[in-house]
Amino acid sequence: MSEWGALAALATAGATFALARGVALALGEGHRHSRDRLASFGAVEAASPSSQAGSKRRRSARARGDGTVSSARRWLRRAGLAWEPADLAGMTVASAAVPGAIVGAITNAAVPSVTIGLLGALLPLLVIHRRVSRRSAALNAQVVETLEVVASSLRSGFGFTQSLDLAAREQPEPISGELLQAIHEVNLGASTDEALQRLVDRTGDADLALAVNAVVIQRRVGGDLSEVLGNIAHMIRERIRIRGEIKTLTAQARMSAWIIGLLPIALAAVLTLMQPEQMRVLIDDPIGRVVVLVGGGLQIIGFMAVQRVAAIEY
């Protein structure tokens, strides 16, 4: 093995372990220990007026950190994964470091190693994003049938919670698990409105949010809830039909955007593997770096422009 390959492999092993462990501590128990230390620190300095501004800044920083972790955890839950953000961070680091070290050991060059490492880091994120999209699409396709089951149960004389339980047991995943969790929260003492709002927050589905808002309003003002749910189910079914027609009409434009956006990246990766010395000029030479930055920026702008043209609001 070459000197570069041995060094890259050693650095990869150390960086993967250190970063994964560090992120796990930072996102896991580290948050609790930090809060305890900051709380005790704030208690000591509570008598000092000059510490109030610093305390506010620390609380704001903790809120931002907790919000980031909560967003990552919610994203993983929408993918149907029981991972924690620390698991995702460790997987991302490993996916970047291991392929990068292997390519570095084979090619004995930094440019292809870094390129493959960056692509490897994106792989877990792309896989999870794909799982989120598929699970969200599957859940959205079940909303209409679920509303119809709930409406039929209400017409038969069941209560709203009983109707939700019946729909959860008749429907497959992923909506059955989400409904059962909402019912479990109600059984533990949460109000029905709060449980339904958490259901919307977990799934992020716009059609389900529309139905939940209608249910909450109707439960407060009274009326025939089964008829309201039936009308909402019909409206959502028409929305799904129109959405499918729009996707069919804009499929060519969206595919063209992806081809145009990925072609330069794929070509650069191939040339880097085949002629690393020539591609090194784009990294080592100042003019080459300017060309890469300008070209990358224009590529991103063009991709976003085509996507914006193909995105039709409905």
Residue 80: name the closest of 206, 201, 175, 219 by CA.
175
pLDDT value, residue 54:
52
Helix H, strand E, coil C: the string for 235-257 is: HHHHHHHHHHHHHHHCHHHHHHH
* 314 Cα distance to chain centroid: 23
What is the chain's mean pLDDT, rounded? 77
Question: Under the phi-then-psi rule, with left for phi > 0, alpha for psi from -120 to 50, and beta for the rest, what region is 223?
Answer: left
Helix axes 110-155, 160-170, angle to 10 degrees: 130
Q: Going by C-beta distance under 8 Å and a sequence separation of 6 or more, which residues neighbour residue 77?
A: 202
Burial class of residue 209 in the structure, from the number of CB atoms within 10 Å of its CB (0-12 exposed, 13-18 middle, 19+ buried): middle
Integer Cα distance of 65 and 73 in angstroms: 12
Query: What pTM was estimated for this model as a whole?
Result: 0.63
The answer to whether the CB of 36 falls within 8 A of the CB of 133 is no
Compute the distance between CA of residue 45 and CA of residue 64 in angstroms, rounded to an integer: 23
Domains defined for the chain, CATH in brackets: 141-246 (1.20.81.30), 250-314 (no CATH)
Cβ neighbors of 35 (< 8 A, separation 6 or more) are 62
Q: Name the range with the highest mean pLDDT among 181-195, 265-279, 292-306.
A: 181-195
For residues 290-313, average pLDDT: 81
Q: pLDDT tens digits, residue range 237-261? A: 888 888 888 888 888 878 888 888 8
- Helix extents (H) in 171-205: 175-187, 192-203
pLDDT above 70 covers a percentage of the chain that reads: 77
Q: How many CB atoms lie within 10 A of CB 127?
A: 13
- pLDDT tens track for 4-56: 454 455 445 444 544 444 444 444 434 433 343 333 333 333 334 444 445 44
Q: Which residues, including other chains, have CB under 8 Å from residue 53's CB and lie 6 or more apart?
A: none
Alpha-helix runs per DSSP H in 79-109: 85-107
Residues 100/121, Cβ–Cβ less than 8 Å: no
d(CA 59, CA 64): 9
Segment (H or E) for 262: helix 251-274
CA distances from 304 to 251, 261, 308 (A): 16, 9, 6
pLDDT band for 272, please (50, 70, 90 cuts): confident
Q: Is a pLDDT exceeding 60 seen at residue 57?
A: no
Which residue bears the tokens 């799904």?
A: 240
Contact 51, 42 (CB under 8 A): yes
d(CA 198, CA 77): 13
DSSP state of 2: -
